[in-house]
Amino acid sequence: MQIYRVGGAVRDRLLQLPVYDNDWVVVGASVEQMLAAGYQPVGKDFPVFLHPKTHEEYALARTERKSGQGYQGFEFFASPQVSLEEDLQRRDLTINAIAEDDAGRLIDPYGGQQDLQARLLRHVSPAFREDPLRVLRVARFAARLHHLGFRVAPQTRALMQQISASDELSTLSAERVWKELERALGEADPQQFLLTLRRCGALQRLLPEWQRLCDGDDDPDPDRASESDSGLDPDAYASPALRGLRAAVALGCDSRERIALLGCYIGPDAVQQLFERLKAPREYRDFGLLCSRHYRSLLDLEQRDAESQLQLFQALDLGRRPQRLAPFIRTVQAYQQAQCGAAEPFGQGERLARIVSALATLQPKALVEAGFTGKALGQELQRRQIERIRTLP
Protein backbone atom coordinates (compact mmCIF):
# COMPACT_ATOMS: atom_id res chain seq x y z
CA MET A 1 0.00 0.00 0.00
CA GLN A 2 1.09 3.60 -0.61
CA ILE A 3 0.18 6.50 1.60
CA TYR A 4 0.02 10.13 0.47
CA ARG A 5 -0.59 13.35 2.29
CA VAL A 6 -3.46 15.12 0.54
CA GLY A 7 -5.93 18.00 0.59
CA GLY A 8 -5.74 21.07 2.80
CA ALA A 9 -2.39 20.21 4.40
CA VAL A 10 -0.58 20.10 1.05
CA ARG A 11 -2.40 23.21 -0.20
CA ASP A 12 -1.66 25.24 2.93
CA ARG A 13 2.00 24.22 3.05
CA LEU A 14 2.43 25.32 -0.58
CA LEU A 15 0.78 28.63 0.32
CA GLN A 16 3.05 28.88 3.36
CA LEU A 17 0.06 28.97 5.66
CA PRO A 18 0.01 27.13 8.99
CA VAL A 19 -1.03 23.48 8.74
CA TYR A 20 -3.18 22.20 11.60
CA ASP A 21 -4.13 18.72 10.55
CA ASN A 22 -3.13 16.21 7.93
CA ASP A 23 -5.37 14.09 5.74
CA TRP A 24 -3.97 10.98 4.14
CA VAL A 25 -5.09 8.83 1.26
CA VAL A 26 -4.20 5.14 1.15
CA VAL A 27 -3.86 3.47 -2.24
CA GLY A 28 -3.76 -0.27 -2.82
CA ALA A 29 -5.13 -1.35 0.56
CA SER A 30 -8.32 -3.09 1.64
CA VAL A 31 -10.47 -2.42 4.69
CA GLU A 32 -9.24 -5.69 6.20
CA GLN A 33 -5.58 -4.65 5.81
CA MET A 34 -6.29 -1.32 7.52
CA LEU A 35 -8.06 -3.00 10.44
CA ALA A 36 -5.26 -5.54 10.75
CA ALA A 37 -2.74 -2.67 10.94
CA GLY A 38 -4.66 -1.23 13.91
CA TYR A 39 -6.47 1.67 12.19
CA GLN A 40 -9.85 2.50 13.69
CA PRO A 41 -12.79 2.80 11.31
CA VAL A 42 -14.78 6.06 11.32
CA GLY A 43 -18.51 5.59 10.81
CA LYS A 44 -19.68 2.64 8.81
CA ASP A 45 -20.25 4.01 5.32
CA PHE A 46 -17.04 5.90 4.73
CA PRO A 47 -13.83 4.02 4.03
CA VAL A 48 -12.05 6.33 6.48
CA PHE A 49 -9.85 5.33 9.41
CA LEU A 50 -8.01 6.98 12.26
CA HIS A 51 -4.33 6.25 12.74
CA PRO A 52 -3.85 4.27 15.96
CA LYS A 53 -1.33 6.78 17.36
CA THR A 54 -1.66 10.16 15.64
CA HIS A 55 -5.48 9.89 15.17
CA GLU A 56 -5.12 11.60 11.79
CA GLU A 57 -7.54 10.61 9.03
CA TYR A 58 -6.56 7.96 6.55
CA ALA A 59 -9.05 7.38 3.75
CA LEU A 60 -8.92 4.55 1.26
CA ALA A 61 -8.65 5.86 -2.29
CA ARG A 62 -12.18 5.99 -3.58
CA THR A 63 -14.41 7.15 -6.34
CA GLU A 64 -17.80 8.56 -5.53
CA ARG A 65 -20.85 8.00 -7.62
CA LYS A 66 -24.09 9.65 -7.14
CA SER A 67 -26.98 7.30 -6.59
CA GLY A 68 -29.61 9.89 -5.75
CA GLN A 69 -30.06 13.53 -4.92
CA GLY A 70 -28.08 15.37 -2.31
CA TYR A 71 -25.42 14.31 0.10
CA GLN A 72 -27.26 11.20 1.23
CA GLY A 73 -27.40 9.94 -2.30
CA PHE A 74 -23.79 8.83 -2.35
CA GLU A 75 -22.20 5.55 -3.06
CA PHE A 76 -18.58 5.17 -2.21
CA PHE A 77 -16.54 2.81 -4.18
CA ALA A 78 -13.27 2.01 -2.44
CA SER A 79 -11.06 -0.81 -3.53
CA PRO A 80 -7.34 -1.51 -3.76
CA GLN A 81 -7.71 -0.98 -7.51
CA VAL A 82 -8.74 2.70 -7.25
CA SER A 83 -5.75 4.81 -8.31
CA LEU A 84 -4.48 7.99 -6.71
CA GLU A 85 -5.47 9.94 -9.84
CA GLU A 86 -9.03 8.64 -9.62
CA ASP A 87 -9.24 9.61 -5.97
CA LEU A 88 -7.92 13.10 -6.70
CA GLN A 89 -10.33 13.54 -9.56
CA ARG A 90 -13.45 13.28 -7.38
CA ARG A 91 -12.24 16.11 -5.11
CA ASP A 92 -13.65 19.62 -5.14
CA LEU A 93 -10.92 22.06 -6.17
CA THR A 94 -7.65 21.60 -8.04
CA ILE A 95 -5.77 23.26 -5.16
CA ASN A 96 -7.23 20.58 -2.86
CA ALA A 97 -6.35 17.74 -5.23
CA ILE A 98 -2.56 17.67 -4.86
CA ALA A 99 -0.96 14.67 -3.16
CA GLU A 100 2.50 14.40 -1.62
CA ASP A 101 4.41 11.16 -1.17
CA ASP A 102 6.70 10.31 1.72
CA ALA A 103 9.70 11.67 -0.19
CA GLY A 104 7.98 15.05 -0.53
CA ARG A 105 7.25 14.60 -4.25
CA LEU A 106 4.02 16.19 -5.43
CA ILE A 107 1.49 14.33 -7.54
CA ASP A 108 -0.65 16.96 -9.19
CA PRO A 109 -2.53 15.64 -12.22
CA TYR A 110 -5.13 18.45 -12.35
CA GLY A 111 -2.95 21.55 -12.29
CA GLY A 112 -3.35 22.45 -8.63
CA GLN A 113 0.05 24.11 -8.34
CA GLN A 114 -0.61 26.18 -11.43
CA ASP A 115 -3.92 27.33 -9.93
CA LEU A 116 -2.19 28.15 -6.64
CA GLN A 117 0.15 30.39 -8.66
CA ALA A 118 -2.71 31.87 -10.66
CA ARG A 119 -4.77 32.31 -7.47
CA LEU A 120 -7.71 30.40 -8.90
CA LEU A 121 -10.39 28.38 -7.13
CA ARG A 122 -11.17 25.95 -9.93
CA HIS A 123 -13.10 22.71 -9.80
CA VAL A 124 -11.36 19.50 -10.74
CA SER A 125 -14.08 17.82 -12.80
CA PRO A 126 -17.85 17.59 -13.23
CA ALA A 127 -17.79 15.38 -10.09
CA PHE A 128 -17.78 18.72 -8.21
CA ARG A 129 -21.52 18.64 -8.58
CA GLU A 130 -21.89 15.47 -6.60
CA ASP A 131 -21.75 17.33 -3.29
CA PRO A 132 -23.64 20.66 -3.33
CA LEU A 133 -21.93 21.65 -0.06
CA ARG A 134 -18.97 22.45 -2.29
CA VAL A 135 -20.72 25.65 -3.37
CA LEU A 136 -20.39 26.80 0.24
CA ARG A 137 -16.87 25.45 0.52
CA VAL A 138 -15.74 27.50 -2.48
CA ALA A 139 -17.30 30.59 -0.91
CA ARG A 140 -15.51 29.77 2.34
CA PHE A 141 -12.17 29.40 0.57
CA ALA A 142 -12.84 32.72 -1.18
CA ALA A 143 -13.28 34.29 2.27
CA ARG A 144 -10.12 32.66 3.54
CA LEU A 145 -7.82 33.25 0.58
CA HIS A 146 -9.11 36.55 -0.83
CA HIS A 147 -6.29 38.51 0.80
CA LEU A 148 -3.83 36.43 -1.22
CA GLY A 149 -5.63 37.38 -4.42
CA PHE A 150 -7.69 34.24 -4.98
CA ARG A 151 -10.84 34.36 -7.13
CA VAL A 152 -13.36 31.83 -8.31
CA ALA A 153 -12.63 30.61 -11.85
CA PRO A 154 -15.38 31.63 -14.30
CA GLN A 155 -16.17 28.04 -15.28
CA THR A 156 -16.47 27.09 -11.61
CA ARG A 157 -18.80 30.01 -10.98
CA ALA A 158 -20.90 28.84 -13.93
CA LEU A 159 -21.13 25.38 -12.39
CA MET A 160 -22.04 26.87 -9.00
CA GLN A 161 -24.77 28.85 -10.76
CA GLN A 162 -26.15 25.68 -12.29
CA ILE A 163 -26.16 23.91 -8.93
CA SER A 164 -27.90 26.86 -7.28
CA ALA A 165 -30.48 27.10 -10.05
CA SER A 166 -31.39 23.42 -9.58
CA ASP A 167 -32.77 22.45 -6.19
CA GLU A 168 -29.63 20.58 -5.15
CA LEU A 169 -28.83 23.06 -2.37
CA SER A 170 -32.11 22.32 -0.64
CA THR A 171 -30.91 18.77 0.01
CA LEU A 172 -28.13 19.97 2.33
CA SER A 173 -28.72 19.38 6.01
CA ALA A 174 -29.00 22.42 8.28
CA GLU A 175 -26.01 21.14 10.26
CA ARG A 176 -23.68 21.02 7.26
CA VAL A 177 -24.75 24.47 6.07
CA TRP A 178 -24.34 25.93 9.56
CA LYS A 179 -20.88 24.44 9.96
CA GLU A 180 -19.61 25.94 6.71
CA LEU A 181 -21.24 29.28 7.42
CA GLU A 182 -19.84 29.49 10.93
CA ARG A 183 -16.32 28.71 9.69
CA ALA A 184 -16.60 31.01 6.68
CA LEU A 185 -17.74 33.99 8.74
CA GLY A 186 -14.65 33.51 10.92
CA GLU A 187 -12.26 33.88 7.97
CA ALA A 188 -10.16 36.92 7.10
CA ASP A 189 -12.62 38.28 4.49
CA PRO A 190 -16.09 37.08 5.48
CA GLN A 191 -17.65 39.57 3.02
CA GLN A 192 -16.32 37.37 0.23
CA PHE A 193 -18.37 34.45 1.50
CA LEU A 194 -21.56 36.46 1.02
CA LEU A 195 -20.50 37.98 -2.29
CA THR A 196 -19.44 34.62 -3.75
CA LEU A 197 -22.73 33.01 -2.75
CA ARG A 198 -24.71 35.93 -4.06
CA ARG A 199 -22.98 35.91 -7.45
CA CYS A 200 -23.91 32.28 -8.08
CA GLY A 201 -27.46 32.59 -6.79
CA ALA A 202 -26.87 30.43 -3.71
CA LEU A 203 -27.39 33.25 -1.19
CA GLN A 204 -31.01 33.70 -2.22
CA ARG A 205 -31.56 29.95 -1.97
CA LEU A 206 -29.81 29.23 1.31
CA LEU A 207 -29.73 32.51 3.21
CA PRO A 208 -32.43 34.73 1.69
CA GLU A 209 -32.42 36.91 4.84
CA TRP A 210 -28.88 38.02 3.90
CA GLN A 211 -29.51 38.50 0.19
CA ARG A 212 -29.90 42.28 0.26
CA LEU A 213 -26.89 42.77 2.55
CA CYS A 214 -24.70 42.71 -0.57
CA ASP A 215 -26.69 45.37 -2.42
CA GLY A 216 -24.36 47.82 -4.05
CA ASP A 217 -21.36 45.46 -4.15
CA ASP A 218 -22.68 42.79 -6.43
CA ASP A 219 -20.43 43.42 -9.38
CA PRO A 220 -22.18 42.00 -12.43
CA ASP A 221 -18.78 41.22 -13.93
CA PRO A 222 -16.68 39.91 -11.06
CA ASP A 223 -13.86 38.86 -13.39
CA ARG A 224 -13.04 42.44 -14.11
CA ALA A 225 -10.77 43.46 -11.23
CA SER A 226 -12.85 46.08 -9.50
CA GLU A 227 -11.96 48.48 -6.75
CA SER A 228 -15.07 47.79 -4.73
CA ASP A 229 -14.19 44.13 -4.75
CA SER A 230 -10.66 44.58 -3.46
CA GLY A 231 -11.84 44.21 0.12
CA LEU A 232 -8.65 45.80 1.39
CA ASP A 233 -10.21 49.08 2.36
CA PRO A 234 -13.40 49.04 4.46
CA ASP A 235 -14.62 52.13 2.65
CA ALA A 236 -14.37 50.33 -0.65
CA TYR A 237 -17.63 48.51 0.04
CA ALA A 238 -20.87 50.31 -0.67
CA SER A 239 -23.02 48.01 1.44
CA PRO A 240 -23.16 48.94 5.15
CA ALA A 241 -23.26 45.27 6.19
CA LEU A 242 -20.10 44.42 4.26
CA ARG A 243 -18.37 47.49 5.65
CA GLY A 244 -19.52 46.37 9.07
CA LEU A 245 -18.02 42.92 8.57
CA ARG A 246 -14.71 44.50 7.58
CA ALA A 247 -14.78 46.59 10.75
CA ALA A 248 -15.73 43.53 12.82
CA VAL A 249 -12.67 41.66 11.54
CA ALA A 250 -10.44 44.63 12.38
CA LEU A 251 -11.92 44.81 15.90
CA GLY A 252 -11.19 41.11 16.47
CA CYS A 253 -14.83 39.97 16.49
CA ASP A 254 -15.26 36.21 16.38
CA SER A 255 -17.65 34.35 14.14
CA ARG A 256 -20.53 34.57 16.64
CA GLU A 257 -20.15 38.34 16.87
CA ARG A 258 -19.89 38.74 13.09
CA ILE A 259 -23.08 36.73 12.59
CA ALA A 260 -24.78 38.83 15.28
CA LEU A 261 -23.62 41.97 13.50
CA LEU A 262 -25.36 40.84 10.31
CA GLY A 263 -28.46 40.35 12.44
CA CYS A 264 -28.48 44.07 13.24
CA TYR A 265 -29.06 44.76 9.54
CA ILE A 266 -31.94 42.32 9.10
CA GLY A 267 -33.83 42.69 12.39
CA PRO A 268 -34.85 40.22 15.11
CA ASP A 269 -37.65 38.44 13.20
CA ALA A 270 -35.38 37.53 10.30
CA VAL A 271 -32.61 36.58 12.76
CA GLN A 272 -34.96 34.22 14.57
CA GLN A 273 -36.12 32.66 11.32
CA LEU A 274 -32.58 32.18 10.00
CA PHE A 275 -31.27 30.67 13.22
CA GLU A 276 -34.20 28.30 13.52
CA ARG A 277 -33.88 27.06 9.98
CA LEU A 278 -30.14 26.51 10.38
CA LYS A 279 -30.53 24.99 13.85
CA ALA A 280 -27.85 27.34 15.12
CA PRO A 281 -26.40 26.62 18.57
CA ARG A 282 -28.10 28.34 21.48
CA GLU A 283 -25.24 30.75 22.25
CA TYR A 284 -25.37 32.05 18.67
CA ARG A 285 -29.13 32.49 18.75
CA ASP A 286 -29.22 34.23 22.11
CA PHE A 287 -26.42 36.60 21.30
CA GLY A 288 -27.66 37.30 17.77
CA LEU A 289 -31.14 38.14 19.00
CA LEU A 290 -29.85 40.38 21.78
CA CYS A 291 -27.70 42.36 19.38
CA SER A 292 -30.42 42.78 16.78
CA ARG A 293 -32.88 43.94 19.45
CA HIS A 294 -30.65 46.24 21.46
CA TYR A 295 -27.83 47.59 19.32
CA ARG A 296 -29.69 50.87 18.82
CA SER A 297 -29.94 51.44 22.54
CA LEU A 298 -26.17 51.30 22.79
CA LEU A 299 -25.64 53.51 19.75
CA ASP A 300 -27.57 56.36 21.36
CA LEU A 301 -26.85 55.48 25.00
CA GLU A 302 -25.42 58.91 25.72
CA GLN A 303 -28.67 60.60 24.68
CA ARG A 304 -30.78 58.35 26.89
CA ASP A 305 -31.88 59.04 30.45
CA ALA A 306 -30.71 56.95 33.40
CA GLU A 307 -33.89 54.80 33.41
CA SER A 308 -33.40 53.88 29.80
CA GLN A 309 -29.69 53.14 30.35
CA LEU A 310 -30.68 50.81 33.17
CA GLN A 311 -33.16 49.11 30.86
CA LEU A 312 -30.35 48.21 28.46
CA PHE A 313 -28.30 46.85 31.37
CA GLN A 314 -31.29 44.73 32.40
CA ALA A 315 -32.21 43.59 28.89
CA LEU A 316 -28.68 42.25 28.43
CA ASP A 317 -28.78 40.77 31.94
CA LEU A 318 -25.32 42.26 32.49
CA GLY A 319 -25.59 41.95 36.28
CA ARG A 320 -25.53 38.19 35.99
CA ARG A 321 -23.74 37.90 32.67
CA PRO A 322 -20.97 40.50 32.59
CA GLN A 323 -19.11 38.31 30.07
CA ARG A 324 -21.61 39.51 27.47
CA LEU A 325 -20.42 43.07 27.76
CA ALA A 326 -17.26 42.99 25.63
CA PRO A 327 -18.75 40.97 22.73
CA PHE A 328 -21.82 43.22 22.65
CA ILE A 329 -19.72 46.37 22.61
CA ARG A 330 -17.42 45.00 19.88
CA THR A 331 -20.37 44.01 17.71
CA VAL A 332 -22.14 47.35 17.99
CA GLN A 333 -18.87 49.21 17.55
CA ALA A 334 -18.37 47.43 14.22
CA TYR A 335 -21.86 48.58 13.21
CA GLN A 336 -21.02 52.13 14.17
CA GLN A 337 -17.68 52.12 12.36
CA ALA A 338 -19.39 51.04 9.16
CA GLN A 339 -21.53 54.15 9.45
CA CYS A 340 -19.07 56.73 10.71
CA GLY A 341 -15.59 55.54 9.78
CA ALA A 342 -13.00 53.73 11.83
CA ALA A 343 -11.47 56.76 13.51
CA GLU A 344 -14.57 57.59 15.58
CA PRO A 345 -14.17 56.80 19.28
CA PHE A 346 -16.85 54.57 20.79
CA GLY A 347 -17.77 56.45 23.93
CA GLN A 348 -21.10 54.61 24.21
CA GLY A 349 -19.25 51.34 24.78
CA GLU A 350 -17.07 52.91 27.44
CA ARG A 351 -20.15 54.30 29.16
CA LEU A 352 -21.89 50.93 29.23
CA ALA A 353 -18.73 49.39 30.71
CA ARG A 354 -18.71 52.08 33.42
CA ILE A 355 -22.37 51.35 34.19
CA VAL A 356 -21.62 47.65 34.59
CA SER A 357 -18.73 48.29 37.00
CA ALA A 358 -20.73 50.85 38.98
CA LEU A 359 -23.74 48.56 39.40
CA ALA A 360 -21.65 45.48 40.22
CA THR A 361 -21.16 46.72 43.77
CA LEU A 362 -24.87 47.24 44.40
CA GLN A 363 -25.89 43.89 45.80
CA PRO A 364 -29.46 43.02 46.86
CA LYS A 365 -27.96 41.24 49.85
CA ALA A 366 -27.12 44.55 51.52
CA LEU A 367 -30.72 45.71 51.00
CA VAL A 368 -32.10 42.50 52.51
CA GLU A 369 -29.91 43.09 55.54
CA ALA A 370 -31.28 46.63 55.72
CA GLY A 371 -34.80 45.12 56.02
CA PHE A 372 -36.12 45.39 52.44
CA THR A 373 -38.26 42.50 51.22
CA GLY A 374 -40.47 41.57 48.24
CA LYS A 375 -41.56 44.29 45.89
CA ALA A 376 -40.00 47.03 48.00
CA LEU A 377 -36.63 45.33 47.65
CA GLY A 378 -36.84 45.42 43.87
CA GLN A 379 -37.96 49.02 43.86
CA GLU A 380 -35.23 50.14 46.19
CA LEU A 381 -32.56 48.32 44.18
CA GLN A 382 -33.79 49.98 41.00
CA ARG A 383 -33.86 53.39 42.66
CA ARG A 384 -30.27 53.03 43.80
CA GLN A 385 -29.15 51.72 40.41
CA ILE A 386 -30.66 54.73 38.65
CA GLU A 387 -29.07 57.04 41.18
CA ARG A 388 -25.66 55.43 40.55
CA ILE A 389 -26.07 55.82 36.80
CA ARG A 390 -27.03 59.49 37.23
CA THR A 391 -23.89 60.24 39.22
CA LEU A 392 -21.61 58.67 36.60
CA PRO A 393 -19.55 61.24 34.67
Q: List contacts with ligand CTP (CB under 6 A).
A: 7-8, 23, 91-92, 96-97, 131, 133-134, 137
CB of 124 to ligand CTP, least distance (A): 8
Burial 24-37 (b: 16+ CB within 10 A, else e): bbbbbbeeeebeee
Q: Which is nearer to ligand CTP, 92 or 209 (CB)?
A: 92
Q: Which is nearer to ligand CTP, 45 or 369 (CB)?
A: 45
Q: Which is nearer to ligand CTP, 92 or 217 (CB)?
A: 92
Q: Which is nearer to ligand CTP, 59 or 301 (CB)?
A: 59
Q: Which is nearer to ligand CTP, 94 or 385 (CB)?
A: 94
Q: Which is nearer to ligand CTP, 133 or 214 (CB)?
A: 133
Q: Select the residue whose beta carbon is closest to ligand CTP and give its number.
A: 8
CB of 183 to ligand CTP, least distance (A): 7
CB of 210 to ligand CTP, least distance (A): 21
Q: Which is nearer to ligand CTP, 112 or 244 (CB)?
A: 112
CB of 252 to ligand CTP, least distance (A): 21
CB of 98 to ligand CTP, least distance (A): 9
CB of 376 to ligand CTP, least distance (A): 58
CB of 178 to ligand CTP, least distance (A): 15
